[in-house]
Amino acid sequence: MVSAKLRTRDIGMLVFDGFQLLDAAGPIGAFEMPVRGMSPPPYRLSLYSLEGGPVRASCGLSMMTEPLPPGLKLDTLIVSGGEGTREAMSDEVLLEAIRDLSQRTRRTCSVCSGSFVLAAAGLLKGRSATTHWRRSETFRRAFPDTNLQADRIYVRDGKFWTSAGITAGIDLALALIEDDLGEEVSRRAARELVVHQRRAGGQSQFSVMQDLRLASGRFDDLIGWVRTNLAASLDVDTLAARAAMSPRNFARVFRSETGATPARFVEKLRLEAARQSVETTTLPLQAIAAETGFGDPERMRVAFVRAYGQPPMVLRRQGRTNSPV
């Protein structure tokens, strides 16, 4: 086991015109961290394109790449995403090169919309995957034979790993490092990068607060109170009283300010908190339901099925499956 961990693994990042710079630079930076402090170095990093030379990112900067040599063998292939995926998906020479190379890799991965390229190459057929949330519906229409888990940070299905948008590539790289070298090395790499150790693969790409349309800061204090009191009674009358408004006026103004009814907003917060606990802790469902305001596991189960299409226990198992082992 120890000797296996000490060998050097070849990591190849594949880019194309219009790739997203951070899709490539983020994972490369994460893999660099263990290289700095271990001997022999656990990773050898290469940046490839189909023909080599400078490749322009969507931001206008270019990175120097090596050409994909015939018969290349990699431990891990990572395909970048970016605006250029639209052209890359129709480049049959590139797709054939990815199919061929994937046969000789232990892991084939993508960052952000790089999953479109893997899917176009036929590598995700019948598999689970994720991508940037903004392009999830486009992905579903284009590749209905892939089980898209649109709100995941990253998804592992056999040798294929896909991640969500941009910075999620760092989470993916840290997960791959943990898979290779253990949790402590991954944790040290995260500390060097000054990022969260690693968001769980099952964690949602975006939070309720990010998805909220706040017209002003009028309800900031109230929302802060709700988030820390999910187990309390949070009906319209209670919320209106805290906002010093009549229930009818509060409901109307709150929806105008946030784009959600008070009841729907509270349920979203409860669902987000409950799902986080379900997927990242071993707390009994009874305890999670109580502390997030659902009251009992059956009410929480119904809400999960309505929101996520799966009951809590299935998401708990999937969260473990999609985490490195």
Q: Edge-to-edge strands of the sheet including 43-49?
A: 53-56, 62-67, 43-49, 9-14, 74-79, 105-110, 160-163, 154-157
Compute the distance between CA of residue 273 and CA of residue 294 in angstroms, rounded to an integer: 11
Residues 6+ positions from 74 with CB-CB distance below 8 Å: 10, 11, 12, 101, 104, 105
Compute the distance between CA of residue 254 and CA of residue 272 in angstroms, rounded to an integer: 20
Token pair in block for residue 67: 């050409």
3-state secondary structure of 279: helix
Compute the distance between CA of residue 6 and CA of residue 202 in angstroms, rounded to an integer: 29
What are the percentages of helix, strand and coil residues in the chain, rounded to 5?
50, 15, 35
Buried (b) or exposed (e) across 89-106, using 16+ Cβ within 10 A? bebeebbebbeebbeebe
The amino acid sitting at 99 is R
Compute the distance between CA of residue 304 and CA of residue 267 in angstroms, rounded to an integer: 10
Closest listed residue to residue 157, CA positions, set 274, 35, 323, 8 = 323
Told to judge if 112 belongs to the known catalytic residues of this protein, a careful annotator would answer yes
Buried (b) or exposed (e) across 35-71, using 16+ Cβ within 10 A? beebeebbbebebbbbeeeebbbeeeeebebeebeee
- DSSP state string for 182-232: -HHHHHHHHHHHTS-S---TTSBSS-HHHH---SSSTTHHHHHHHHT-TTS
Of 57, 79, 112, 120, the active-site residue reads 112
State the DSSP code for 2. Answer: H
Q: Which residues are catalytic?
A: 112
